[in-house]
């Protein structure tokens, strides 16, 4: 992917501070608005891709980004051995909802775009290929634009999701997986997703609910299923529900209990292996009860101009709290 994929969409890039068009010259990207700070200072290229961030409004430091060649603030290491990869797949079952909903979304996008245009899917937080979304990267009739706050081989630009540097109504679909817990203002990010989507554009999001802190200082927020739905209130809901349920949540709690009790991440990992089977029971659990104790939830939605109301979100609730006589 890289910069070559982005070249077809240069015209859609905008300044994250003032939303003016940008130009590519020499080794920088320049805002075209004469009074904008970035018309004079420009945006740097980092590891060969443009870093389109308004650094005064981002958790990303220009100094760190340039001095580290775009490396992530949190170490990200791929599993180093086949055994470790197998153990990870044992304790983390496949993301069946993403595996089901991404092909659905792509099918709907192809139908909307028709034979004359390739749909464009934006991956927010696309520094790594998420779980269950491989189909998006293996298809050859969709343009995938991915960005994150760090460089990776599959990102086309570095950006902050609070100020997505793309023109309004410039993409057909958005994937945002395990990202919204890591942003300071999730509602602002969802507004940006709504803005960059074309009319009737689609979004697929999955986000933690009862999940331990991960990525340390870059972890901020959690959402119930209802809270997640209201976060995407400017979208019509096509489908929503549990990604990982109470079984996964219980396994995670066991891991964190033993990690805390014995002051050891290794002890937690061993305890997690001992209850490896718990997450695999999620597909057997009652979805209404599991929704109230889910470790993560998802939503597939279509851009709408009419937001749901506070009354609508109360009526939306589909869990079992106060509704189960037993």
**Closest to 171 (Cα-Cα) out of 154, 138, 194:** 194
What 3-state class would DSSP assign to 89? helix
From first to last of its 326 residues, the chain has per-residue pLDDT tens of 445 567 777 889 999 999 999 999 878 999 999 999 999 999 999 999 999 999 999 999 999 999 999 998 887 766 667 887 788 888 999 999 999 999 999 999 999 998 889 999 999 999 999 999 999 999 999 999 999 999 999 999 999 999 999 999 999 999 999 999 999 999 999 999 999 999 999 999 999 999 999 999 999 999 999 999 999 999 999 999 999 999 999 999 999 999 999 999 999 999 999 999 999 999 999 999 999 999 999 999 999 999 999 999 999 999 998 765 45
Query: Token pair 């993301």 is at which residue?
Result: 95
Instruction: Find out whether 122 and 116 touch, Cβ atoms under 8 Å.
Output: no
What 3-state class would DSSP assign to 229? helix
265-274 helix and 246-262 helix, angle to the nearest 10 degrees: 140
What 3-state class would DSSP assign to 322? coil
**Which part of the chain is CATH 3.40.50.150?**
82-316
**Sheet arrangement for strand 235-244:** 157-158, 143-148, 120-124, 171-177, 197-208, 296-303, 235-244
**Closest to 127 (Cα-Cα) out of 156, 147, 144:** 147
Choose the CATH number for 82-316 among 3.40.190.150, 3.40.50.150, 3.40.50.720, 3.40.710.10: 3.40.50.150
Instruction: Compute the distance between CA of residue 112 and CA of residue 237 in angstroms, rounded to an integer.
Output: 17
| Residue 13 burial by Cβ neighbours in a 10 Å radius (0-12, 13-18, 19+) | buried
Maximum Cα interatomic distance, the chain, rounded to a whole number of Å: 69
Pull the structure tokens for residue 297: 């939830």
Strands 143-148 vs 157-158: parallel, antiparallel or unpaired: parallel
pTM, two decimals, is 0.94
Task: Enter the DSSP assignment of 76.
Answer: -
- Rounded to 5 degrees, what are φ and ψ at 100? -85, -40
Task: Enter the DSSP assignment of 130.
Answer: P
């Amino acid at each position: 992917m890289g910069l070559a994929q982005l070249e077809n969409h240069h015209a859609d890039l905008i300044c994250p501070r003032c939303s003016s068009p940008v130009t590519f010259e020499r080794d920088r990207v320049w805002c075209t608005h004469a009074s904008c700070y970035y018309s004079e200072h420009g945006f740097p290229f980092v590891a060969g891709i443009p870093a389109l961030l308004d650094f005064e409004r981002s958790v990303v430091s220009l100094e760190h980004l340039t001095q580290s060649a775009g490396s992530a603030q949190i170490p990200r290491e791929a599993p180093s051995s086949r055994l470790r990869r197998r153990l990870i797949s044992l304790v983390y079952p496949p993301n069946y909802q993403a595996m089901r909903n991404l092909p659905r979304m792509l099918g709907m996008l192809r139908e909307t775009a028709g034979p004359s245009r390739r749909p464009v899917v934006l991956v927010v937080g696309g520094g790594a290929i998420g779980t269950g979304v491989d189909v998006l990267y293996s298809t050859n009739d969709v343009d995938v634009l991915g960005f994150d706050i760090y460089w990776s081989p599959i990102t086309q630009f570095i950006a902050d999701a609070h100020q997505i540097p793309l023109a309004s109504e410039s993409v057909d679909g958005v994937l945002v997986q395990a990202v919204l817990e890591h942003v300071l203002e999730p509602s602002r990010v969802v507004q940006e997703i709504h803005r960059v989507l074309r009319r009737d554009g689609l979004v697929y999001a999955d986000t933690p609910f009862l999940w331990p802190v991960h990525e340390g200082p870059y972890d901020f927020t959690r959402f119930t299923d209802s809270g997640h739905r209201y976060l995407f209130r400017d979208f019509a809901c096509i489908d929503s529900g549990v990604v990982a349920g109470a079984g996964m949540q219980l396994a995670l709690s066991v891991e964190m209990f033993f990690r805390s009790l014995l002051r050891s991440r290794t002890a937690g990992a061993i305890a997690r292996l001992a209850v490896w089977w718990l997450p695999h029971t999620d597909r057997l659990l009652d979805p209404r009860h599991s929704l109230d104790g889910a470790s993560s939830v998802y939503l597939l939605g279509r851009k709408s101009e009419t937001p749901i109301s506070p009354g609508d979100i109360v009526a939306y609730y589909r869990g079992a709290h106060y509704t189960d006589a037993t």
